[in-house]
Amino acid sequence: MSQEYDIDDLNRRMNGAISVLSTDLNGLRTGRASASLMDPIHVEAYGSRMPLSQVATVNVPESRMITIQVWDRSMVGAVEKAIRESSLGLNPVTEGQLMRIPIPELNEERRQEMVKVGHKYAEQAKISVRHVRRDGMDSLKKMEKDGDLSQDDSRAESETIQKLTDDMISKIDTLLAKKEQEIMQI
């Protein structure tokens, strides 16, 4: 075969999307401070977008407070802006290069907002999985067109890719449902 088609590679890439979703969902906390809450935040720094952890130190001194020590004084404004514009709804209090972020008590409205953020993360993961599926299907079509794969084999492999995609979407829905239940629990 001149064109490579690898179901294991597609599986690995789809699992990567689920891994990212899992990390993002772990950042959604149920009213308790956690350093992983800051993981999805990226800061516009030095001409590119960088994870917050690459421009500052994140600590959790108490259960309802996160502190961020920004390393470069010129980055304080960018870090503060990135936190405020994130979908987490947090408001940092800046004291020089140190930011204190109080974690608000979760009321019903805040829980609903967090569930919406979780749904957004899940949709991004589903889109990633669908992109991987499309790449696999495109490879199959090219191989069939080039004569490297028969029509029957192409159809069988397409069904395999679709089944893999359906399994991954199901995993995403399960992860989201579990997190939604955790968030809504009082």
The domains found in the chain, sorted by start residue, are 7-24+107-184 (1.10.132.20), 32-102 (3.30.1360.40)
Kindly give the residue spans of alpha helices, DSSP state H, lying in the chain.
7-27, 76-85, 108-146, 151-184
Lowest mean pLDDT among 3-12, 64-73, 150-159, 171-180: 3-12
Query: For residue 29, what pLDDT band results from cuts at 50, 70 and 90?
Result: low
Is 147 within 8 Å of 4 (Cβ atoms)? no
pLDDT score of 80 more than 50: yes
Query: According to the model, what pLDDT value does residue 4 have?
Result: 63
Is 79 within 8 Å of 54 (Cβ atoms)? no
Q: At what angle do helices 7-27 and 108-146 cross, to 10 degrees?
A: 170
- The whole-model pTM stands at 0.67
Is 65 within 8 Å of 31 (Cβ atoms)? no
Query: According to the model, what pLDDT value does residue 108 have?
Result: 82
Token duo for residue 50: 């960088």
pLDDT score of 185 more than 80: no
Query: According to the model, what pLDDT value does residue 68 have?
Result: 92
Residue closest to 143 by CA, chosen among 132, 133, 158: 158
